């Protein structure tokens, strides 16, 4: 049995993504896909996410973030890979 390699992504989501439940949506997506990390609002109006999981989990999670909750309008998603931090759960900050 092989264990999928854990990867880390810093994800910045831009558009109308604050005040629309994006952080709570992101946490549900993380729980649904098994991704760990955190999400927070930034002063510039974007949403900042650090996410960890297998490549497949992260691909699904990022696609969910590109869609966002019903009231969001996502204009851009920027992703930067990085070294795993080994988060144990997913939190809203």
pLDDT category of residue 3 using cuts at 50, 70 and 90: low
Domain-by-domain residue ranges, the chain?
7-84
b/e map of 34-50 (b: 16 or more CB within 10 Å)? Answer: ebbbbbebeeeebbbbb
Query: What is the reported pLDDT for 2?
Result: 56
Q: What is the pLDDT of residues 4-58, one digit of tens each?
A: 689 999 999 999 999 999 999 999 999 999 999 999 999 999 999 999 999 999 9
Residues 6 and 16: their CA atoms lie apart, in Å, by 30
Topology (CATH) of 7-84: Alpha-Beta Plaits (3.30.70)
The catalytic residues are 23, 41
Query: What is the reported pLDDT for 5?
Result: 85
């960890």: which residue's tokens?
52
Rounded to two decimals, the pTM is: 0.93
Q: How far is CA 24 from the centre of its chain?
A: 11
């Amino acid at each position: 049995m092989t264990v999928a390699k854990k990867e880390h992504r810093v994800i910045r989501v831009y558009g109308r993504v604050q005040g629309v439940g994006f952080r709570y949506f992101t946490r549900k997506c993380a729980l649904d896909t098994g991704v760990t990390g955190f999400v927070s609002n930034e002063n510039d109006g974007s949403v900042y996410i650090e996410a960890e999981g297998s490549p497949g989990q992260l691909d699904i999670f990022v696609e969910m973030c590109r869609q966002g909750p019903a009231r969001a309008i996502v204009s851009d998603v920027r992703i930067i890979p990085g070294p795993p931090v080994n988060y144990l759960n997913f939190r809203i900050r």
